[in-house]
Amino acid sequence: MKPLFFRFLLPLLLLSIPLEAAPSVSNPVVSAYFSPNGGCTDAIVGALYAAKSTVLVQAYSFTSAPIAKALVEAHKRHVDVQVILDKSQKSERYSSATFLANEGIPTYIDAAHKIAHNKVMVIDGQTVITGSFNFTKAADSGNAENLLVINNAPELAARYAQNWKEHLGHSEAYQARN
Ligand SMILES: [Zn+2]
Mean pLDDT for the chain overall: 89
The dihedrals phi and psi of 133, each to the nearest 5 degrees, come to: -65, 115
**Contact between residue 149 and residue 129 where contact means Cβ atoms under 8 Å apart:** yes
For ligand 1, the distance from its centroid to the CA atom of residue 116, given in whole angstroms, is 6
Taking Cα atoms as reference points, which of 83, 131, 132 lies closest to residue 109?
Answer: 83
Please confirm, yes or no, whether 117 is among the known catalytic residues.
yes
Q: Where are the alpha helices (DSSP H) in the chain?
A: 4, 10-21, 40-49, 65-76, 88-91, 96-102, 137-141, 154-168
Please confirm, yes or no, whether 119 is among the known catalytic residues.
yes
**Contact between residue 128 and residue 122 where contact means Cβ atoms under 8 Å apart:** yes
Q: Tell me if residue 71 falls in helix, strand or coil.
A: helix
Which of residues 175 and 142 earns the better pLDDT score?
Answer: 142
Sign of the four-CA dihedral 128, 132, 137, 142:
negative
Domain ranges of the chain: 27-173
Of the listed ranges 2-16, 81-95, 153-167, the one predicted with least confidence: 2-16
Chain centroid, CA 85 distance in Å: 14
Residue 175's Cβ-count burial label (10 Å; 0-12, 13-18, 19+) is exposed
For ligand 1, the distance from its centroid to the CA atom of residue 113, given in whole angstroms, is 6
Which of residues 67 and 178 earns the better pLDDT score?
Answer: 67
Share of residues in the chain with pLDDT > 70 (%): 84
Rounded to whole angstroms, the Cα distance separating 116 from 89 reads 11
For ligand 1, the distance from its centroid to the CA atom of residue 120, given in whole angstroms, is 13
The pLDDT-based confidence of 117 (bands split at 50, 70, 90) is: very high
Which superfamily does 27-173 belong to? Endonuclease Chain A (3.30.870.10)
Residue pLDDT, tens place only, 55-89:
999 999 898 999 999 999 999 999 999 999 999 88
